[in-house]
Amino acid sequence: MKKITSLLIMMLFSIIFVTGITVQSAGYTYTHDNRPIHSTEGYEFYQNLTFDALGLQVYEFAQPEDLYIYNQELIYIVDSKSNQLMVFTTNFDLITKKDTFIINKEEYKTYNNIKTDAEFLQIFSRIVTGKKTLKSNPTAGDSPYEFKGENPILTENIQNEYEYIFYGLSGVYRFEDNIYLADKGNHQIVVIDANTYRIKQIITTPEHSTFKWYDGTPAKGELHDKQALFQPTKLVVDRGGRIYAISDGIYEGIIEFSPNGQFNRFMGVNYTTLSAWEIFWRAISTDTQLSRRRVVIQTIFTSLSIDSKGFIYATSHATKNDSGVVTNDNAMIKLINTSSNDVLKRNGYVPPKGDLVYAVSHRDRSKVGPSEFSAITSTSYGTYTVADSKRGRLFTYDADGYLLYISGQFSTERNQLNKIEMPVSIKYLGEDLIVLDRVNKAILIFKPTPIAKLINEATYYYYIGEFEESSRVWNEVVKLNSLYEYAYVGIGKSLYKEGRYQEAMEYFELGFDRVNYSKAYKQYRDQRIRKFFGPVMTIIILAYVAKKGYHLYKYIKFGSKEGDEE
């Protein structure tokens, strides 16, 4: 029966392949051999929320940059033009909005264990940038700065309270009672109290040779020219309070800070490798020839997310060679552990990398090149979703790296409510996916389709070790879509975990999963050997003993008589 089912599935695939499909079609997935085929979308568009639906003015939601959902209770959004922090309920009812934040000298000294005003003055001076970051609180007196043009000069006229003004607010994260804000334009990370919204800590440019201070003056010197500004764009915090941030123009990796704001290290760097030909060519090239070629550097990280175990999901773009040709698009998604190692599983048909089929030239009248990931989020049961800003797609994978489904619709028409233009943040709100779109200046809400709900359920049961229940739900998926290959793989994986290797082999074959089929076959073979080894060896030993006993019997009964006759 299984053989007949497999044959029917292959025939159906053949019919679909002859018909053909492009990745511009709404609702598609990829087969084991990387062919795009029609499929139900994982998540479907539900709602588009713009400034008026959020209770805001148009200028307040002009360039949204980041969104964070705290404990499925509160939603935080930051905007880099209005430089506001906005707080909503999970129904997107506005709770409050803030564009200035109070620094209280005594509170700041207490939180940061600063003993004297002189020490506070020294630390306070590091907040100086080329922008008017601080202004006097109306009740506090004069500013501690004298301004000459755009450049502030710190004086000793420190009052008790001042208002901090953001410039290019681009990232937000909450951990316990602290809200962490990436102030890109002021080159700082600001930590505020989640209840009072008063500033508790300001983390300035890391003391490392990679970075240079922005003091409002032109860069001077060879070393200074090679350094980069600290421009934090996204950040996350682990259970120990350590802060992880990515910064524009920094290729050394993710920046780790201690809970007190001290620079610790770079982690998860995206190394670029050269081919043998490129190494040879660079070795024999003159300085003039090298200057005309592209500089080969690591790719920069584009987004961050952290799971409950403290592992960091990070995205980047594909690496390219001197000619701009993609050389590696298999490591655009990483899962970085505390040892700074990439531990993402890539056990699917291909590594997780978004679209597998794409145009390589503009003559194809479509977006050129591989996916470009701009946001990532994960669930509590190992699945994760990445947003492709190039084609407005959402790709969801399980913990082993198998593509579960694709969401989001492609369209060349403008002003479509369901079109994803520039996803800068994605988060799960319950089962829903929330997409913050900078170009659309909107929040897009997507809800799971019936088949996606079943896929999520089956994946969840497998993750928590309920393999029989997972297999049952995967069978429901097969009933809805018999061409969904991974459903057969999912059933096979559950059967494998239950030790039912022969049955698992049959489903891995239906799912065209050669790797898992080989693993199941090996276990099945070993299982058969273990099953029959004991009985077979017992028979062999008994036969050997019987033979020896028979010879001994003959010797005792007949051997002595034969000797006497001689």
Written as six digits, the tokens of 160 are 């008790």
Nearest Cα to Cα of residue 451 among 45, 40, 46:
40
Pairing status of strand 94-98 against strand 151-154: unpaired
Handedness of CA 15, 20, 23, 25 (dihedral sign): negative
- Cβ pair 434, 420 in contact under 8 A: no
Beta bridge partners of 37: 29
Where do the DSSP E strands lie in 311-453? 312-316, 319-320, 326-328, 333-336, 373-378, 384-388, 393-397, 403-407, 423-429, 432-437, 442-448
Cα 346 to Cα 331: distance, rounded to the nearest angstrom: 10
Q: What is the DSSP string of 268-304?
A: S-------HHHHHHHHH--HHHHHHSPP--PPPEEEE
Task: Return the axis-axis angle of helices 485-497 and 450-463, rounded to nearest 10°.
Answer: 20
348-362 residues labelled b (16+ CB within 10 A) or e (exposed): bbbbbbbbbebeeee
Beta bridge partners of 267: 254
Q: What is the DSSP string of 470-487?
A: HHHHHHHHHHH-TT-HHH
Helix (H, G, I), strand (E, B) or coil at 547: helix
Nearest Cα to Cα of residue 348 among 485, 443, 211, 510:
485
Q: What is the pLDDT of residue 410?
A: 55
Backbone angles phi, psi at 531, to 5 degrees: -65, -45
Q: What is the pLDDT of residue 271?
A: 59
Cα 207 to Cα 427: distance, rounded to the nearest angstrom: 33
Q: Name the DSSP letter for residue 359.
A: B
Q: What is the pLDDT of residue 363?
A: 52
Q: Mean pLDDT by 10-residue block, N- to C-terminus, for the chain (566 residues)?
A: 50 42 65 90 94 95 97 96 96 95 88 84 63 49 44 54 87 97 93 95 88 55 59 96 93 92 88 56 58 56 94 91 76 93 94 85 64 96 96 95 88 71 96 96 96 97 95 95 93 92 91 89 77 69 75 70 48
Rounded-to-10 torsion of CA 86, 92, 93, 99: 10
Cα 33 to Cα 87: distance, rounded to the nearest angstrom: 46
Q: What is the pLDDT of residue 461?
A: 96
Cα 213 to Cα 130: distance, rounded to the nearest angstrom: 10
Cα 366 to Cα 68: distance, rounded to the nearest angstrom: 32
- Cβ pair 309, 227 in contact under 8 A: no
